[in-house]
Amino acid sequence: MFRRTVLGLALAAAVSAFTSFSPFALIAHARSASGFDQVTESITNSISDTFSEAVAKHLPSRSGKPAQPPEASPAPSKAFAQGSGYTLCFVPDGASCQALLVNAIRSTRRQLLIQAYSFTSAPIAEAVAQAHRRGVDVRVILDKSQQSERYTSATYLKHAGVPVVIDNKPAIAHNKVMVFDEQAVFTGSFNFTKSAQERNAENGMLIRGDAAVVKAYTDNWHKRYRQSRAY
């Protein structure tokens, strides 16, 4: 009970600006196990909504109305660490993870499999839609939080004809993965969002030429896809 109260106090102080509840109301609600879970979920949703508002002008609404043109993708940085089939990116101080992904997507010819927790990056979403339009087999798995976001690439991609499903069975589908032509895999902490590229400290890794690793990620993608439902 003491630990929950202390945790509730820390969470309330840290995020009171992001939620409509007062810090003391959060603490009182957090005294039960279920209450604590609800508080943390509320905090997560509030922060997620804040990030969503920041990218609202870059993505279409659920009505499918046209959005503003996506911002230009940054050119690849010379700071990419390459070697032995691995390309690394670190933001904000290293190479652009967004540029690495956009370039990899543009190079994909047959199949692009995506798993994402949060997906609001306009340049990445546009690159995915372009891949679909040129005949690439594109499929996307998203976390269930994307169903309640006001602005998300899920809606944009669905209107573009890209199959999108929701991995709704786990508490959180926290994967950030792309599999390119069953030959390369991107993974890391990097969410496919503007905030991840411009505001956060994140990392990512593009793995090429490791058949065992690519197969493992591909197999796991299909496992999660079978357990997901349509968006």
Give the active site residue among 174, 210, 215, 223: 174
d(CA 225, CA 173): 11
Catalytic residue among 181, 210, 215, 223: 181
Distances in whole angstroms, Cα of residue 131 to Cα of each of 42, 62, 101, 127, 220: 36, 22, 12, 6, 22
Q: What share of the chain is helix, strand, coil (3-state, %, to 5)?
A: 45, 20, 35
Nearest in space to 155 (alpha carbons), one of 73, 59, 12:
59
- Please confirm, yes or no, whether 137 is among the known catalytic residues: no
- Distance CA(206)–CA(105), nearest Å, equals 12
* Active site annotation includes 159: no
Whether 176 sits among the annotated catalytic residues: the reply is: yes
Residue of 58, 143, 167, 176 with catalytic role? 176
Tokens of 53: 């508002």
As a whole number of angstroms, the distance between CA 80 and CA 138 comes to 26
Closest-CA residue to 101 (of 138, 76, 66): 76
Which secondary structure element, helix H or strand E, spans residue 206, and what is its range? strand 202-208
Catalytic positions are: 174, 176, 181
